[in-house]
């Protein structure tokens, strides 16, 4: 089983990278990609824990914003972690998440909802990429809502009056950066419409021209119609089709391996990186 999209407590997942690798081993995964939001900080620890027959594809889920203000998530896999400009891009996004959280907290407070940056810091693992799930956890801690999911449904979703975007590269810029760092770019859950405005079919050609390698088709946030439409786009543009869990530990219902990538698709994707960067014990 090949799962190419997972999160740890280096961003908004709840397992440590070591726990995630152990879980992947226990469940018999053959390839696990580590894709925390806008950071590579879990790579070293995941690599140290690696053993057995599991292969590790190190990566990141890069937050992007189109010029129309549409939020896009780009999975970068198998890129060089020492690529300076890539690390600068990730750091700029992480930095931009701090004023964004302050603004969302101000809006929530103005709406009579009690939550502070201190509350958020107290629930966020040290060093983790700050995100809305941590604001959600602070709201749970304060008794405003009972779960992360309820926090998103009621207060933190993309169309909420409390929602604020953060600075992020365009999808084309993220793809170019991933490719110049030697990796491969797979657009994550592109038709997950319940998250807010999404791309249309015509938007994929410019991404392909920027160097996009694949489309995450099989993801729990896509219904069958959306999966079929994406599979057709992938076919027309000759892009790799992936499936993945987007596992977040106990932060979301998603279970490891619930969607997966076919071996032939993975082999093609892997061959499109500039060198063999898959890690084996």
The site for Fe ion (CB under 5 A) is made up of 61, 73, 188, 246
In the complex, minimum distance from the CB of residue 158 to ligand AMP, in angstroms, rounded to a whole number: 8
In the complex, minimum distance from the CB of residue 188 to ligand AMP, in angstroms, rounded to a whole number: 9
CA 241 to CA 171: how far, in whole Å?
18
User: Given candidates 132, 219, 222, 277, which one binds ligand AMP under the rule CB under 6 A?
Assistant: 132
CA 8 to CA 253: how far, in whole Å?
14
The stretch among 39-47, 80-88, 127-135, 178-186 that binds ligand AMP (CB under 6 A) is 127-135
Q: Does 15 bind Zn ion (CB under 5 A)?
A: no
Contact 75, 35 (CB under 8 A): yes
User: Given candidates 4, 10, 12, 260, which one binds ligand AMP under the rule CB under 6 A?
Assistant: 12
For 260, list phi and psi in degrees, rounded to 5: -145, 170
User: Given candidates 53, 106, 149, 236, which one binds ligand AMP under the rule CB under 6 A?
Assistant: 149
Dihedral of the alpha carbons of 208, 214, 219, 221, in degrees to the nearest 10: -10
Residue 76 tokens read as 């970068």
Per DSSP, which regions of 41-106 are E strands?
A: 55-65, 71-77
Q: Which does 63 bind (CB under 5 to 8 A by kind): Zn ion, Fe ion, ligand AMP, none?
A: ligand AMP
The length of the chain, given as a count of residues: 281
Strand partners, 76: 60, 185
In the complex, minimum distance from the CB of residue 7 to ligand AMP, in angstroms, rounded to a whole number: 7
For 277, list phi and psi in degrees, rounded to 5: -115, 5
In the complex, minimum distance from the CB of residue 114 to Fe ion, in angstroms, rounded to a whole number: 28
User: Given candidates 5, 9, 12, 119, which one binds Zn ion under the rule CB under 5 A?
Assistant: 12
Q: Which of residues 63-122 bind ligand AMP (CB under 6 A)?
A: 63
Q: Which of residues 238-267 bind ligand AMP (CB under 6 A)?
A: 248, 251-252
CA 218 to CA 81: how far, in whole Å?
27
Determine the Cα angle at 90 with ends 49 and 103, to 5°: 115
From residue 193 to residue 232, what is the string marking binding to ligand AMP with x (rule CB under 6 A)?
----------------------------------------
Pairing of strands 184-188, 71-77: antiparallel
Identify which of residues 42 and 251 has a Cβ nearer to ligand AMP in the complex: 251
In the complex, minimum distance from the CB of residue 96 to Zn ion, in angstroms, rounded to a whole number: 16
Contacts of 29 (CB under 8 A, 6+ apart): 1, 2, 3, 54, 256, 257
Identify which of residues 55 and 245 has a Cβ nearer to Fe ion in the complex: 245
By the criterion CB under 6 A, which residues form the site for ligand AMP? 12, 37, 63, 131-133, 148-149, 152, 248, 251-252
By the criterion CB under 5 A, which residues form the site for Zn ion? 12
């Amino acid at each position: 089983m090949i799962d190419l999209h997972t999160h740890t407590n280096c961003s908004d997942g709840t397992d440590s990278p070591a726990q995630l690798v152990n879980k992947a081993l226990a469940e018999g995964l053959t390839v696990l990609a580590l894709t925390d939001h806008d950071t590579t900080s879990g790579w070293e620890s995941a690599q140290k824990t690696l053993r057995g027959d599991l292969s590790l594809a190190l990566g990141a889920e890069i937050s992007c914003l189109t010029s129309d203000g549409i939020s896009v998530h780009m999975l970068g896999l198998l890129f060089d972690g020492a690529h300076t400009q890539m690390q600068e891009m990730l750091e700029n996004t992480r930095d931009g998440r701090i004023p964004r959280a302050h603004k969302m907290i101000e809006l929530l407070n103005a709406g009579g909802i009690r939550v502070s940056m201190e509350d958020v810091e107290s629930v966020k693992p040290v060093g983790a990429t700050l995100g809305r799930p941590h604001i959600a956890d602070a709201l749970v801690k304060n008794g405003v809502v009972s779960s992360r999911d309820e926090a998103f449904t009621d207060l933190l979703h993309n169309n909420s009056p409390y929602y604020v975007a953060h600075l992020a590269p365009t999808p084309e810029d993220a793809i170019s950066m991933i490719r110049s760092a030697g990796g491969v770019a797979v657009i994550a859950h592109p038709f997950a419409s319940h998250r807010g405005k999404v791309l249309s079919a015509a938007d994929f050609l410019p991404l392909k021209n920027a160097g996009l390698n694949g489309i995450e088709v099989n993801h729990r946030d896509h219904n069958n119609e959306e999966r079929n439409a994406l599979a057709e786009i992938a076919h027309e543009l000759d892009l790799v089709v992936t499936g993945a869990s987007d596992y977040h530990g106990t932060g979301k219902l998603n279970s490891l391996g619930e969607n997966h990538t076919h071996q032939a698709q993975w082999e093609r994707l892997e061959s499109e990186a500039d060198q063999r960067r898959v890690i084996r014990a």
